[in-house]
Amino acid sequence: MKAFCEECRDYEEYRIEENVRTKEIKNKVIHFEEKIAYCSVCGSEIFASELRDANIEAMDSAYRITEGLITVPEIENLLEKYNIGKRPMSLLLGWGETTLTRFVSGDIPSKTYSDLLIRIGESPDAYLELLISNKDKIVEAAFRKSFDATTKVLSKTNTCIIDTKIESACNYIISRSVEITPLALQKLLYFTQAFHKVFEGNFMFDEDCEAWVHGPVYREIYSKYRNRGYNPIEDSLEQFDCFDLTESEREVIDAVINYFGCYSGKILETMTHIEPPWKDTRAGLSENEVSNRIIRKELIERYFNQVYEKFNMLNVADIRDYSGDLFEKIRGNLA
């Protein structure tokens, strides 16, 4: 790619370097990865519009993650799922008719507005109740289109259709756990992914995890359960008894639940903090610095292959030796 270099007085190729930047937004200090362009000819910093847009998105994402706010893509997905326009959705919620338009354009919603959008996005039943209760606020055509779309979403949920493997793994873990918090769920998904690669030769799901402050996090699952905070997921277990997993996939997850699920979310977080995949990915970041860096799958594969060999693992039951070893390493820090 090229951009205009003021020193060279011409359009030149440029290289990109990443730098952690600190910025204060609404009295909140955030950290995000800023991409900076440098001329490949003279080395001067140059302006690249595409990087400016990417940096604005990274800054916005870091702030929303820090504050637990809904993102623009999540709002767009909500509107698409329920087949409702920005203006009618605003009216249903009792907001100004341009409110959703502003949020989709990048304005940051308040925590109250954000939490309401997250709730109806996660619960088609809650949205359907809102739609029916406020149908007089929108035109009949908009109501009918959204009603039909929402009933289809509910029908799909009730017939147990799972779109992704990570959703299946997530549902299976929750349904087989006595009590589990979103924090613990994230770590069990991470260990499931790692040990499935070790024993079966492939990763169970396509999604990448990110090296957040509290350990590896799968963003899609975080968004789904963000409102639970550090509390256990106490929804009806019947809704999680829906998954599409092979026998070998279930065997790996069962072993992970047996040998890691016995620990609290905070202990599991500490375990992942001493492992190279998370530590190496966060190299150069401070302890509480927000980051969306992806923990590359090759890092996970390399490290857990070493674990496999070190503990002479013959079957999934041998995961017990590794989990016990990790706990012994961190036990002193927990006292």
Q: What pLDDT, in 10s, does the model give residues 51-60?
A: 988 888 888 8
Instruction: Please choose, from the candidates 222, 212, 211, 162, the residue with its C-alpha nearest in 3D space to the C-alpha of residue 186.
Output: 222
pLDDT score of 21:
84
Whether the CB-CB separation of 215 and 186 falls below 8 Å is answered with: yes
Whether the CB-CB separation of 69 and 116 falls below 8 Å is answered with: no
Residue written as token pair 């997530």 = 170
Q: How many CB atoms lie within 10 A of CB 85?
A: 15
Whether the CB-CB separation of 254 and 204 falls below 8 Å is answered with: no
pLDDT score of 237:
61
The angle formed by the CA atoms of residues 75, 80 and 83, to the nearest 5 degrees, is 125
Instruction: Copy the structure tokens of residue 218.
Output: 């799968």
Q: Would you give the DSSP letter of residue 208?
A: P
pLDDT score of 67:
80
pTM of the model: 0.61
Phi, psi of 14 (to 5 degrees): -135, 155
Amino acid sitting at position 278:
W
pLDDT score of 240:
79
- Residue 144's H or E segment, with its range, is helix 140-158
* CA dist., res. 291 & res. 33, Å (int): 7
Whole-angstrom CA distances from 25 to 87, 170, 252, 291, 310 are 28, 34, 43, 16, 47
Q: Burial of 115 by CB count in 10 Å (0-12 exposed, 13-18 middle, 19+ buried)? A: middle
pLDDT score of 66:
79
Write out residues in the chain with pLDDT < 50, as ranges: none
pLDDT score of 149:
93
* CA dist., res. 157 & res. 1, Å (int): 45
* CA dist., res. 128 & res. 149, Å (int): 10
pLDDT score of 83:
96
